[in-house]
Amino acid sequence: MKVTSINVNGIRAAARKGMFEWLAKERPDVVCLQEIKAQEEQLTDALFYPEGYHHHFHSAERKGYSGVAIYSRREPDEVIVGLGWPDVDAEGRYLEARFGNLSVISLYVQSGSSSEERQAVKFDFMARFMAHLREIKASGRDYIICGDWNIAHKEIDLKNWRGNRKNSGFLPEERAWMDRLFGEEGFHDAFRLVNQEEDQYTWWSNRGQAWAKNVGWRIDYHVITPGLKDRVLSADIYTAERFSDHAPLTLVYDYPAWAAE
């Protein structure tokens, strides 16, 4: 089972840069998009509804902002739109597709880089979301939570870690939250289960020569429940083409139930 996640920084912009042609060649089973920046009624071109895929969108109320989507080759048994939290759901940050005992989530965690107020919103979300994560882990279902978590976990996960210790995305409180997520809460960073190398980034600032010099951050993840730990076969960050300021993150799982059901 092949699952791809990408923050597209505008689905229409990514489409113009050839993302859907790339997906047609790669043929992932599930595609999770974040920051689509569009309502579904604005996506009139057939390109946005590729043949062989079911599509589900959760757009932000504000046009041109945030929003998530899931494309899947198999029709979900159920789709859960939002968390039931009005402030978060208004920004289109959570979409869950259920396939048998597997849930795949497209998640877009807030950035706190624009202001102290937005960082406070991010911390509030993180506190509430940890409780939600506990609930889903206790459900006994398998979960793959794909998306832009807007936090680099460890020093290996960003190039200039020394200079970013006081910046949103690498704050001590954010990193401690990730320690807890991947520690006592029992979730796994699927990418790091199969790739421990340095310079593995998924986002690059548009300032300076960040992309050219590979001065990046790894802030996009597949976060998985314990039952999937031994099912991660491979992980790939695609950088041969650039569809966004983020790169597609694709993981392959040994998940026979996907094919059987």
Q: What DSSP line would sit under 89-133, residue for residue?
A: HTT--EEEEEETTEEEEEEEPPP-SS-HHHHHHHHHHHHHHHHHH
CB 179 within 8 A of CB 126: no
- CA–CA dist 82, 86 (Å, integer): 9
Residue 144 CB neighbours (<10 A): 25
Active site residue 148: yes
Long-range contacts of 44-48 (CB under 8 A, 24+ apart): 45/15, 47/15, 47/20, 48/11, 48/15, 48/20
Identified catalytic residue from 45, 77, 142, 148: 148
Catalytic positions are: 148
